[in-house]
Amino acid sequence: MRTEVLIIGAGHSGLAMSRRLTEHGVEHVVLDRGEPGNAWRTERWESLRLLTPNWQTGLPGHDYAGDDPDGFMGSREVADHLAAYARAIGAPVRAGVTVTSVAPLERGYRVTTDHGVWEADAVVLANGGSGIPNVPAHAEGVPSGVLSLSAKHYRSPEQLPEGGVLVVGASASGVQLADELARSGREVTISTGEHVRMPRSYRGRDIFWWMDAAGVLDERWDEVDDIVRARHVPSPQLVGSADRAVGIGALHERGIRIVGRLGRVHEGVAQFSGGLANTVRLADLKLDRLLERFDAWAAETDAEVGPVERFDPTVVDDSPRLELDLVGEKVGTVLWATGYRPDYSWLEVPVLDYKGRLWHEGGVIPDAPGLYVLGTSLLRRRRSTYISGAAHDSAELAEHLVEYLGGRESARAELAS
């Protein structure tokens, strides 16, 4: 089978790209191992809501049209939103097709699937940034009898065996799960390394309103100080709810035990860094710098916002626990909320570095002409991490792609003449 462009993944990014290619009149096919939005339907916990408000979930040619622009979609609603979008734009989706390899041809790429082989001039990797949970090697030290589970496979508190829970990681996922588990009556410890403290609202506006309005989300990948690091910063400690704080300070107040970064699990004992005080201090200082930036922008633009606020420094125990005896202290589950990385295990193009990371320049892969990536953290701008990034990113990459296809055609014509 042949097509001009093959898009792998029918999530928000792959569908946005499909829409752009249709606009450009480029023949293409979108492959997905499930239905559009599959991961949102099958790989998320039950209570999950988006971090971004509904008004920021628009896709190219498909703005949010519901009656709750300031609300937050649950994961099933996101899946429905994507399925509806796929129908609305008439995306040529082949559902239930799993890609098993992408390999270079002399011109273009060969994409092998469990339903046949495709050849395409260009391939767009839109399979998402959260294919594989980044569970650290010390998970191997978790003693038998204690469940070791990644956030990707967590669904609800009832799923876990009896006993306490050690949540490792304090990104949005980690703090949300710690909060949910504590509310269900579990004794919860959360282990945190570097994290991003953020209030849900500031000066009467949602924090994502600020991020959007003050231009934070539009900072480009090549303007960020250290892009490799920036792409690995954990997601902000937020939950899609107007009235629930899930920062470290709020969790501590609710009786959740806060401990430092997990160092190792040794003879059944989890050992934590003694650097917690500095970790929370760094997050407090970083939050203040963000708010100062918002304040400066608001003053400059005379924005309609409430009075300036500052948040109290985060309080944790003076001498936080350095050890947790998983068996002796009846911890039933270690829940890894330690981030994800994209799955490129089937990519047979030599573009991965020694850590398996794909080097790209804003989605363009310099070492593999005609291969593009879309929908990963900070791909072209901060907004790329969220659904609202797909509109810009797909527009710009589609233009690059169309130019690339045009260049190939003229090269072919030259060869023929």
Binding stretches for other proteins (CB under 8 A): 194, 228, 260-261, 263-264, 266, 271, 273-275, 278, 281-282, 285, 288-289, 319, 354
Q: How far apart are the first and last CA of the chain?
A: 27
| Joined tokens for residue 164 | 């306490």
CB of 227 to other proteins, least distance (A): 11
Measured from the CB atom, is 265 or 337 closer to other proteins? 265
What is the smallest separation between the CB atom of 228 and other proteins, expressed in angstroms? 7
CB of 322 to other proteins, least distance (A): 9
| CA dihedral angle for residue 38, residue 39, residue 40, residue 46, rounded to 10 degrees | 120
Rounded to whole angstroms, what are the CA distances from 231 to 53, 288, 362, 365, 369?
Answer: 22, 21, 12, 16, 23
| Cα angle for residues 375, 377, 383 (degrees, 5° grid) | 80
Q: With beta carbons less than 8 A apart as the criterion, state whether 326 and 142 touch.
A: yes
Q: Which is nearer to other proteins, 163 or 263 (CB)?
A: 263
The secondary structure of 269-328 as a DSSP string is EEEE-S-HHHHHHHHHHHHHHHHHHHHHHHHHHT---------PPPP--SS--SEEETTT
Q: How far is the CB of 263 from other proteins (least distance, A)?
A: 4
Of the pair 96, 274, the CB lying nearest other proteins is at 274
- 339 exposure class (CB count in 10 Å sphere: 0-12, 13-18, 19+): buried
Choose between 130 and 279: whose C-beta lies nearer to other proteins: 279
- Of 216 and 270, the one with the shorter C-beta distance to other proteins is 270
d(CA 218, CA 101): 34
Min dist CB 372 to other proteins, Å, is: 23
CA neighbours closer than 13 Å in the CB half-sphere of residue 44: 20
Least CB distance from residue 355 to other proteins, whole Å?
8
Q: 202: which strand partners?
A: 205
Identity of the residue, 20 or 197, whose beta carbon is nearer to other proteins in the bound complex: 197
Q: How far apart are CB 178 and other proteins at their closest, in Å?
A: 22
Nearer to other proteins, 162 or 225 (CB): 225
